[in-house]
């Protein structure tokens, strides 16, 4: 049974560029959440989507956006990249009762 899959695993972008990160949840999981983990800190909540609707948004600028597709996969988009956006981006999925988050291995984004 496949876990949460994220792509790409690593990415290098230049300041000002745009990036799209992708996440496929565990089969049967309808909720997807995105977290940013900067080195030395814990993951910080960015977005949560449930049944294709945004359920929550963390304290991130409007340069960050996301969406969830009918198959429950999700994309995280970041525009106008800054050096400070360099981080590990984690996707987590959870079953219909919204408990029991399972994380993917993350996408390591480096902005140069």
How large is the C-alpha radius of gyration of the chain?
13
Q: Smallest distance, Å, CB 112 to other proteins?
A: 20
Q: Smallest distance, Å, CB 22 to other proteins?
A: 15
Whether the Cβ atoms of residue 47 and residue 54 lie closer than 8 Å to each other: yes
Which lies closer to other proteins via its Cβ, residue 27 or residue 80? Answer: 27
Which lies closer to other proteins via its Cβ, residue 58 or residue 65? Answer: 58
The binding site for other proteins (CB under 8 A) comprises 4, 31, 33, 35, 40-45, 48, 55-56, 58, 90, 92, 94, 98-106
Pick from 90, 78, 70: which is nearest to 30 by CA?
A: 70
Which lies closer to other proteins via its Cβ, residue 14 or residue 39? Answer: 39
Q: Smallest distance, Å, CB 76 to other proteins?
A: 15
Q: Give CA separation, 38 vs 13, 16, 83, 84, 96, in Å.
A: 16, 19, 12, 9, 29
Q: Are strands 10-13 and 107-111 parallel, antiparallel or unpaired?
A: parallel
């Amino acid at each position: 049974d496949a876990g949460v899959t994220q792509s790409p695993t690593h990415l290098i972008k230049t300041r000002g560029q745009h990036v799209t990160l992708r996440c496929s949840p565990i089969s049967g999981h309808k909720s997807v959440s995105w977290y940013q983990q900067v080195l030395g800190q814990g993951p910080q909540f960015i977005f949560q989507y449930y049944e294709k609707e945004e359920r929550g948004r963390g304290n991130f600028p409007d340069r960050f956006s996301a969406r969830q597709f009918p198959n429950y996969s999700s994309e995280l988009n970041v525009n106008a990249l800054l050096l400070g956006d360099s981080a590990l981006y984690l996707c987590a999925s959870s079953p219909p009762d919204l408990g029991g988050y399972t994380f993917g291995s993350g996408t390591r984004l480096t902005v140069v």
